[in-house]
Amino acid sequence: MKTKLLIFDVDGTLVDSLGDHYETDKKIIENLQGVAPSLEEYMGILGRVTDWNKFYEQFGVSDSEKATALFYKLISERAPRAIPEAYELLSKVRRMNIPHCALSINENPYSVHKKLLGARLLDYFINSVYSDPKTKTEVIREVCKERGIDYNNAILIGDTEKDIREGKEVGVVTVGVSNKYSFSPEEDINKAQPNYLIHDIRDLEKIIKWKS
């Protein structure tokens, strides 16, 4: 089936933010008298979170609301960086005339725009940035419906087990990205059984051409 829409996760897929997220959460957890996880433990948990309101509780933090507010305040002070290979891939996608959008959950639209702008990626996603406190499944359905695209003509590109599971639940084609920027270990991404697994975001071009 021909690819008519690419849906990109943001953090860990297009933006190099794993280190920023970990250091920010580690600082918050320790300051609120919790026990911070190792980076490996953090990655194993982060890619499977279903209830963000309870995320900090598992580290001994009793006030999740305060922790979450602190996270968004502190993470917004970090300078976002694009994954270098993303520029090349997105430039090719634009030349191929394939509609594409960026999707981030649990952030307000302003912060996602600001992140993409700071990473010099926003020009690739003008009027195509989606953010919502809902799950990705709901937003993927809304985006496909809004654009009149069948699920099997859309590809979700993500770096976590949760991304892949939610994409498969909807019925879109799923591409897992596993490399040093990813929020989930490769073994966790594989558990979700993505349609494709790549280690370099630029390899998405081969999948698009194969499906066309």
Per residue in 4-16, pLDDT (tens digit) is 999 999 999 999 9
Residue 9: beta bridge partners?
A: 103
Largest CA distance in the chain: 53
Q: CA-to-CA distance for 205 and 22, rounded, in angstroms?
A: 30
Mean pLDDT within 98-112: 81
Q: What angle do CA 55, 58, 64 make, to 5 degrees?
A: 45
* DSSP class per residue in 122-144: GGGGTT-EEEESS-HHHHHHHHH
- In the prediction, which pLDDT does 109 show? 67
**SS3 call for 37:** coil
- In the prediction, which pLDDT does 212 show? 67
pTM value is: 0.93
Per residue in 172-186, pLDDT (tens digit) is 999 999 999 999 999
Exposure string (b/e) for 97-117, b if CB count within 10 Å is 16 or more? ebebbbbbbbbeeeebbebbe
